[in-house]
Amino acid sequence: MSDIVLGVGASHSTLMNTDWDKVDRLDGAHRFRNGLERARDRLAAAAPDAVVIIGSNHFRGFFLDMMPAITIGVGEVLGAGEAGTPGGPLPADTGLARHLLTSLVGYGFDPAFSLRLTVDHGITHSLQHLLPALDVPIVPVVINMFAPPLPSLRRCHDLGAAIARAVAVDGAGKRVAVIASGGLSHRLPWPKWFDTLSDDDRFLVEAWLNGRGSWGDYEVRRRQIIRAAEPDINPSFDRDFLKLVEQGDLGPVLERSSADIDAAAGNGAQEIRSWIAMLAALGPGARGETLAYAAIPQWLTGMGVAVVEPPTTKETA
């Protein structure tokens, strides 16, 4: 059997890569970056043989012509490379990926799979900062978090538990880490695909529908729209959520609807699904430690990073 040895949850923002000079004076930005570095070191100390990374895709690898709820990369994994994030081939553990795919189907899930999966900063930003050498093979699990209807929070929790179950019976004797990429509270200036109100809305939906193979053609205006957005961050929501991560119990949020999360913490907070799945994969009794949190308006996002230890690791320690 294989063991899950560590979980990491980390917010992402490509503005951290492209606009660092605008936040270099802010204690919060340095606090978050230092937290990422501490998580990087904890991950290196855990010495994983493979990393399951759970995140979103921002319409650079998935588009409205086909939007699965859950997708596993079982072959080539390619970084989109936008905004200074890793581009091109990424190391992939195809054996573990195929095992997860088959197991999840057996456990009542219906994930899509890809033999040539393009992932954007919803996956690669965390890899860039937590595994900077890109020297550990990954299994990307991409959850639809931006094109409603979205899988429920409860379903994402069950997905994480099923991933843990599959890892435990894979027979490979690997040390596996689980990274959750995304969140916390933030609101992107993105419309619902069925409810466009402005020229920018219609442009974005056109990009999301027709961008397969040409998403870069839409990138300049996309970035302009995002940079013009007003920040909408809810630190209370973020701190409450991180406290639940520390306690290892996300029960209080699992029955909340997507509409409720949107109203409380913005459409970008739908990415807490990755954290929920990660914590479930660490199992009952897991406990988290928040390494950093800062609300950073320049990045539009409540930026958090935490590590989660499985109960067996703490007992051994």
pLDDT 10s digits, 248-295: 999 999 999 999 999 999 999 999 999 999 999 999 999 999 999 999
Residue 211 lies in a domain: no
- Between the alpha carbon of residue 216 and those of residues 47, 61, 83, 114, 224, the distances in Å are 36, 11, 11, 21, 14
Instruction: Give the pLDDT confidence score for residue 271 in this predicted structure.
Output: 98
pLDDT in tens, 154-191: 999 999 999 999 999 998 999 999 999 999 999 999 99
Residue 96 lies in a domain: yes
Instruction: Give the pLDDT confidence score for residue 262 in this predicted structure.
Output: 97
Give pTM, 2 decimals.
0.96
**Dihedral over alpha carbons 76, 122, 305, 165 (to 10 degrees):** -50
Instruction: Give the pLDDT confidence score for residue 315 in this predicted structure.
Output: 42
Instruction: Give the pLDDT confidence score for residue 314 in this predicted structure.
Output: 42
Instruction: Give the pLDDT confidence score for residue 19 in this predicted structure.
Output: 87
CATH of the domain at 127: 3.40.830.10
Instruction: Give the pLDDT confidence score for residue 1 in this predicted structure.
Output: 84
Residue 210 lies in a domain: no
Structural domain containing residue 153: 3-188+229-316
Residue 208 lies in a domain: no
CB 203 within 8 A of CB 31: no
Give residue for tokens 């040390």. Answer: 175
Q: Which residues are catalytic?
A: 121, 186
Residue 255 lies in a domain: yes
Tally of domains within the chain: 1
Residue 222 lies in a domain: no
